[in-house]
Amino acid sequence: MSWLAGLFAKLPGLSSAKLIGIAGLFLGGVWTGYWGTSTLYKSGEVKALEGRINELSALRKSDISILQKHYKTLLEIERHKATINEVVNNVPDNRDCDLTPPIERMLDRHRQAVRTDKPAAGVNEGAATSATTPRISQRQLVFADADLADLYNAARSQIKSLVEIIQTSQRARQ
């Protein structure tokens, strides 16, 4: 405190030019300090943002590789569809084994997990079917089963990819 009292004692003896010079040096020092601090702060923010950008970039690259695997699986499924004709050509065309509409309805209810009071209700429905009633052939059944398998495999691949993307995102947040 004694140095402050000494400074104030000298002020009346200083010229206005010296006072303006001292005030200018003081303000210059304050400005330099402010500028240096803000520059360091901004460079720290920039480095943090660059780090986050690099993290997100790596995460997106991971997502892209997961999606590439998914689409490769979908391409394999499409290639598999091309070979189903070979399988169908080997299925015997026995019209005695065709599914009648009542049995088809029962099979559809089973696939949709619809419960009925009578387990065999579909078999007895419309029992008086004629020979001209449309039936499902064995080949149509093979095609339908192949389509269901392809749909299942595509859905499984999509769900697996989504789970991997979510897990990767959660790991990146930690």
* Distance (Å, whole) CA 171 – CA 97: 54
| 130 lies in some domain | no
Within-domain flag for 131: no
Domain span holding position 94:
2-98+137-173
In sign, the C-alpha dihedral spanning 115, 120, 123, 124 is: negative
* 128 located within any domain: no
- Beta-carbon count within 10 A of 32 CB: 10
Neighbours of 157 (CB within 10 A): 18
Residues of the chain scoring pLDDT < 70 = 1-14, 110-134
Total number of domains in the chain: 1
Instruction: Look at residue 83 and tell me if it is in a domain.
Output: yes
Q: What is the 3-state secondary structure (H, E, C) of 52-121?
A: HHHHHHHHHHHHHHHHHHHHHHHHHHHHHHHHHHHHHHCCCCCHHHCECHHHHHHHHHHHCCCCCCCCCH
Q: Cα–Cα distance between 134 and 131 in angstroms, integer?
A: 8
CA quadruple 136, 76, 60, 170: dihedral, nearest 10: 60
Q: Would residue 123 count as lying in a domain?
A: no
Summarize pLDDT for 59-94 with one digit per residue, the tens.
889 889 999 999 999 998 888 777 777 777 777 777
pLDDT for 105 equals 76
Q: Is residue 29 part of a domain?
A: yes
Q: Tell whether the torsion through CA atoms of 126, 127, 128 and 129 is positive or negative.
A: positive
32-45 pLDDT tens trace: 988 888 888 888 88
Is 116 part of a structural domain of the chain?
no
Question: Is residue 119 one of the residues assigned to a domain?
Answer: no
What pLDDT score was predicted for residue 83? Answer: 77
Please give the pLDDT value at position 42.
Answer: 86
Q: Please tell me the pTM assigned to this model.
A: 0.53
